[in-house]
Amino acid sequence: MNHARAEGLTARERLASIGWIPGRSEYFRHLPPPGMEVWLGDGGEMSAADPLAKESVDAGWVLEPLGTARQGLVEAQWLDAADATQRSRLFAGIAAPGDSDADRFAWAHQAMCRRGLRLRIGGGAKAGTDGGPGETVSLVLRRQAQAALEAPTLVIDVLPGMHCVLLETHERGASMEAVVQNLDVHITLGAGASLQHLRVATPGRDDRLVHRVHARLGRGARYDQALIASGSNYHLQRTELDLHAAQGSARTGGALFAAGTALEQQVEVLHRGADTTSDVEALVLASGKARGVVNAYSRIAAGADEASVRQRLSGIPTDGQPRLVLRPHLEINHDKVQAVHGATWGALPEDALFYARQRGLSESSARALIIQGLLTALLERSLGDPVALETLGVHALLGTAVARYLAAGKELSHA
């Protein structure tokens, strides 16, 4: 037995010993995930006949430049996690999972991971270690699902002083049956580095997805994430932000759609460094009998002087009788901090609908216009730069997601 397979079996054994996510779990009680057998398959060892073994060398990842501007240095490695040497390179610098409820997904991922992609952004002459301005890299990273059950890995290292703009999309072929996907993304930002990260995950209705993003920020680093996600049979988007060094800054904005489906976003922020800032915002739209949950948890550790935290969660039921749960949460262990949180839910603004109809728009067109306006403003705040919205093509991507959501809602109401 090779070392890579031994690690996979060890992960299975660890998961079996600690058990799956308990029903009393505080994080998952509003939208319990499927059992561990869904994420591990039948529990048999990998064989040549296993569909996971048919993944291509690039494991479905397609990397392209974004725009025509001159790019900084990018090193990409497509790695085979079934090979011991390549597996070590793929997971180098990544800590082993713990025993938290969310870490159950991490153990399942380690047991099933077969391929991954590692990106190293920077290393050119202009990228320094003093946190000064370096080159800019703009990339598109597209992933096509490769199998009915998969656990891909993405590792991104942004070197000190570098600035990266990244569009990451996830899709599957229309002819594929339901997909079960357990994705881990690990991001490390060096001192003074920044990443503007747009993530788009719009699975099929019967798919079950878990995407976990871990970002660790160096001194003066900045991470801005904008998320466009739609619901499915089960869909969890979880982001963990570690602000361990001074002057780190992180923002997340979620544009979430659930039309008769299930969708949960979890954002967990740990402030350990002084003068750190985090801003978590989400708007979930739901229709039919959808279940939409947003969990935001920010912890300010002792000694994190002048840390600043903001949470703003919103929900709008547009039709039917969806269930929306909005949970902002703060844990403050230091005095010299600023913290604000809140949650609101309600209907689309009637006055805006009225004025849009007065200008000759149909009701459906007026709804789409207002929803897109609300979400565009949210994503602009999360990316912190209107120019980034244009670079990443946010307006077109958001317009497609809004149209799909409203069409699905109309089908539900007719049914």
**Residues near 316 by beta carbon (within 8 Å), at least 6 away in sequence:** 283, 284, 285, 286, 345, 346, 347, 348
Band (pLDDT 50/70/90 cuts) for residue 46 is very low
Mean pLDDT of the region 119-138: 68
Q: Looking at the predicted structure, is the pLDDT value of residue 184 above 50?
A: yes
Of 134, 97, 149, 143, the C-alpha closest to 116 is: 143
Band (pLDDT 50/70/90 cuts) for residue 50 is very low
155-164: pLDDT as tens digits: 999 999 999 9
**Residues near 79 by beta carbon (within 8 Å), at least 6 away in sequence:** 86, 87, 89, 90, 115, 116, 117, 118
Length of the chain: 415
Q: What is the pLDDT of residue 345?
A: 85
Q: What is the pLDDT of residue 221?
A: 98
DSSP assignment letter at 323: E
pLDDT above 70: percentage of residues in the chain: 90
